[in-house]
Structure 1
Amino acid sequence: MTERLLICTDLDRTLLPNGSAPESASARALFKVLAERAEVVLAYVSGRHKALVEQAMADYRLPRPDFVIGDVGTSIYAITADGWREWPQWAEAIAPDWAGREHDDMRRLFAPLAGLTLQESAKQNRFKLSYYVPIEIDLPRLLAAMRDLLAQQAIRADLIYSVDEAANIGLLDVLPASATKFHAIEFLMRELGFGIENTVFAGDSGNDLPVLTSPIRSVLVANASDEVRKQARELARQHSTDSALYLAKGGFMGMNGNYSAGILEGVAHYLPHTEQWMKTDD
């Protein structure tokens, strides 16, 4: 039996019940009971920056984590009663991808390209360059031009595009190639001495798939879309990691498997003795 446990969880629509599916009434309280156990190390893994993670923690009364992997994987913070402390070890690990460049150097590199508007300063950091892009832009052409500039400078970077449907605007992040949720969790595991036998990740969406379909034990919460569930199953089969992917279905401790209920269900699936850790006298 493994006593120490590292729980890494996505926030939006995984731990946070901010999707359209209902939340089980007792789920977050039971998650807090589990998270506050001395044996448990808790890490939030999110695309949100520091201020937005803090806002989510306050709005949803989340337990204080031990670590936050934020800014789409480009930052790792250790959290104590004294506050947030950024881990320089992670910056040192991802810096070589950008071949000595940092945020402002990368911004200058792409300055000649039309259609890129810098996002607000709170959404930028040393290794995260974020733009707004018009919906109607010729995206393949823009990305090809950016990749050409990166190749000329021998810079290893990922270009992550998504759409803010409410604002009807494209979002484009330029990140070090190693600065992903998966790589950041692997780094945290190594630094803290955790293996796959005592680490569990929880997620809900497409950007969680690299972790969900890796050898790291993972749970896809029940409120995930049918498309993501299908993709997760297919990719896990391709990677031969089926045994490390659990799809929450509900019924565990009378809960529906959505959000934190799904996290608890997945943790107990991999480590059955932890069900006792989730019990309360209330």
Structure 2
Amino acid sequence: MKPFFRATCLVLLMAILRGQPALAQPRPAGTWTLDRTANHEGLGSPVGMAYDASGNLYVANWSAGNVMRFAPTGERTVFASGLSGPSGLAISSKGDVYVASYNEDLVWRFTPRGDQAVFVRGLATPAGLSFDARGRLLIANRRTHQILAVRPDGAIDVAADGLQTPVGAVELPNGDLLVSNIAGGVSLVSGGLKARAINTDLRSPGPGIVAAGADAAYVVDYGGTTVSRIDRNGVREVIADGLSSPVGLASAPDGSLTVATWGANATFQIRRP
């Protein structure tokens, strides 16, 4: 199995020597509350997560090689199995479920009924997935240090280049991208393809990154214990702490955040009062 979340001190040192910004002091946590009682347990190295229009939660289980579906009632079913290193997961406006296979360098597309087909091949260790406003699938293509944007017809555009081990990306309302790099902090892509590091405070940002309003994103720290809000200027606010290797993150229908951890192989909710 290919190494997934393996960052080295050398990479981080080189990033600092290249002039990335100094570590920012995080603001204290705001009004969020972490529910420390897991709502879904017994997972297998969960990574990508997303909710469909009916409120079902889909979870890509890396080591189990499957995608689980959890109904709002808590009932669980195996949505897809026999996958090799499923990592990122995203759901289109049509309800199709897209799952990146980190080991096979491709992305699968599943219909709501579970019909399976390859959407795009020839990738380079694809990690996190999300959709932009144009309906393109954003793929964190880790080995080429790029964010790719795949159109519905399969044509591929390069949305960002020159990153450092990207594992997740999310589009802001103005079209800019915020990118989590497992060995290079959080980057902003604005007005072109080139990225600019804005925060290097996290130990190893994971694939879990979701939009937080007009100019920020929520980001997990796989190498640490936190979920943070990081704005386009790099200002960080810790919204949850005490998690064991958080990896996946999704916006829930009720406005809370669902976070998946490898330490507990479970999901937890982060809520506003």
State whether TM-score is above 0.5: no
TM-score scaled by structure 2? 0.29
Q: Looking at CA atoms only, which structure, 1 or 2, has the larger radius of gyration?
A: 1
Say which structure is richer in helix: 1
TM-score scaled by structure 1? 0.29
Higher normalized contact order (CA 8 Å, seq sep 6+, divided by chain length)? 1
